[in-house]
Amino acid sequence: MSTAEWEHFYASHAPPAELPEHRQQITDFCKHHQPNKIVLLTSGGTTVPLEHNTVRFVDNFSAGTRGAASAEYFLDNGYAVIFMYRQKSLEPFSRHFGGQKFLDMLEIQEKGSDVAINVKSNYINTIKPILSKYKSAHRENKILYVSFTTVSDYLWLLRVACECLTSSGANCLLYLAAAVSDFYVPSNEMPTHKMQSGEGAPVIQLQLVPKMLTPLVNNWVPRAYVVSFKLETDENLLISKSRHALNKYKHKLVIANVLQTRRHQVTFVTPETSFVINLNTEEMDSGIEIEESIVKNVISCHKEHIKQLDSH
Ligand code: 9Z3
């Protein structure tokens, strides 16, 4: 993908209205945390609108579980976290209480006209550690939430976040777990208004989204440690495609996973090696999450990267 194609994408897609505000927030956050380690973590899927006044869009499966869980483990390990996530996808901490779970944890106690709502005693030990981590991350300004919805919002926000992070140099880690659409409908080919069924079945021509990793690795954050994720449904393609990505984009680590087994198995692929991280049934049943090991291993790779850059 040439630079021209890449720039063409930005030139033909208006930035999201909130971008200047996000730029300010990210700049302030980076300044506040310098010279400590900081991770830009992307999470959740992107949409591809089919109309400018969007009624319909193409989406993908990602709920943002990987990203939201990983953010908590980065915080546990002392990183400041820029959590760049798909609006309404899972968020760190609150992910534990989604759907009816939270309501099930509460009980109403009434004594005359006094009403109290309490956490059921058998849930206190579950809620307390999560709540204390949430409170301290917020009190210490350790996490910044910035959201996107469409693939073009995502690409704008990613570039701006990288621009703000350049000054963090090797202390910056990029953990690109979002499931970003490979295809989109170019802005100038989209109808303004809702497509009308009376006009017959629409023929929609999708185009390739330019790969952002080339400018990101080479120009935007050249000293950062960049980790991308590779998702396949055919296990036979997983390692070869990850190696291909490393060769093409020249970053340091691809975490490869298969859709069906992603909760309990991933493969770390570096230019020289590859190794598998696995959870067994017992570990899964006891509530251990694979993101804990993923983050631990990524952090030790990042440490090594900083050491190498410092010695040059
Ligand atoms: C991943 O592979 C993530 O691990 C998942 C996590 C999206 C599978 P969930 O959100 O799932 O926990 O449900 N993310 C990257 C997927 C991706 O689109 N990668 C591109 C590719 O495979 C490269 S950027 O080509």
- Which protein residue's CA is at the shortest distance from atom 25 of ligand 1? 230
- Which protein residue's CA is at the shortest distance from atom 17 of ligand 1? 179
Question: What's the pLDDT score for residue 2?
Answer: 59
Question: Ligand 1 centroid to 178 CA: how many Å?
Answer: 6
Question: Ligand 1 centroid to 66 CA: how many Å?
Answer: 9
Residue 99: pLDDT band with limits 50, 70, 90: confident
Question: Ligand 1 centroid to 231 CA: how many Å?
Answer: 5
Q: How far apart are CA 12 and CA 5, in angstroms?
A: 11
The yes-or-no verdict on residue 146 having pLDDT over 90 is yes
The yes-or-no verdict on residue 9 having pLDDT over 70 is yes
Question: What's the pLDDT score for residue 7?
Answer: 87
Quick one: which of 252, 239, 247 has its CA closest to 309?
252
Q: In which element (H, E) is residue 24 found?
A: helix 19-33
For residues 37 and 79, the answer to whether their CB atoms sit within 8 Å is yes
The yes-or-no verdict on residue 3 having pLDDT over 70 is no
Q: Which atom of ligand 1 is nearest to the CA of 44?
A: 10
- Which protein residue's CA is at the shortest distance from atom 10 of ligand 1? 64
Question: What's the pLDDT score for residue 311?
Answer: 81
Question: Ligand 1 centroid to 78 CA: how many Å?
Answer: 25
Q: What is the pLDDT of residues 48-92, one digit of tens each?
A: 999 999 999 999 999 999 999 999 999 999 999 999 999 999 999
Token look-up 């090594």 returns 304
- Per-residue pLDDT, averaged over 287-310, amounts to 96
Q: What is the DSSP letter of 251?
A: -
Question: Ligand 1 centroid to 229 CA: how many Å?
Answer: 6
Residues with CB under 6 A from ligand 1: 62-66, 176-177, 179-180, 228-231, 257, 262
Question: What's the pLDDT score for residue 164?
Answer: 98
Question: Ligand 1 centroid to 196 CA: how many Å?
Answer: 33
Q: Which atom of ligand 1 is nearest to the CA of 211?
A: 24
3-310 CATH pick, 3.30.56.10, 3.40.50.300, 2.120.10.90, 3.40.50.10300: 3.40.50.10300
Question: What's the pLDDT score for residue 5?
Answer: 79
- Per-residue pLDDT, averaged over 148-177, amounts to 97
- Which protein residue's CA is at the shortest distance from atom 20 of ligand 1? 230
Q: How far apart are CA 96 and CA 130, in angstroms?
A: 8
Q: What is the pLDDT of residues 253-269, one digit of tens each?
A: 999 999 999 999 999 99
Q: Which atom of ligand 1 is nearest to the CA of 263?
A: 12
Q: Which atom of ligand 1 is nearest to the CA of 232?
A: 22
Rg, Å, the chain Cα set: 21
Instruction: Give the DSSP letter string of 159-170.
Output: HHHHHHHGGGGG
Residue 194: phi, psi to the nearest 5?
-50, 130
Residue 110: pLDDT band with limits 50, 70, 90: very high
Question: What's the pLDDT score for residue 8?
Answer: 86
Question: Ligand 1 centroid to 112 CA: how many Å?
Answer: 53
Question: What's the pLDDT score for residue 310?
Answer: 83
- The domains of the chain are located at 3-310
Question: Ligand 1 centroid to 245 CA: how many Å?
Answer: 14
Question: What's the pLDDT score for residue 6?
Answer: 82
- Which protein residue's CA is at the shortest distance from atom 21 of ligand 1? 230
Q: How far apart are CA 235 and CA 256, in angstroms?
A: 10
Question: What's the pLDDT score for residue 28?
Answer: 98
Q: What is the pTM of this model?
A: 0.96
% the chain with pLDDT above 70:
99
Question: What's the pLDDT score for residue 113?
Answer: 93
**For all residues of the chain together, what is the average pLDDT?**
96
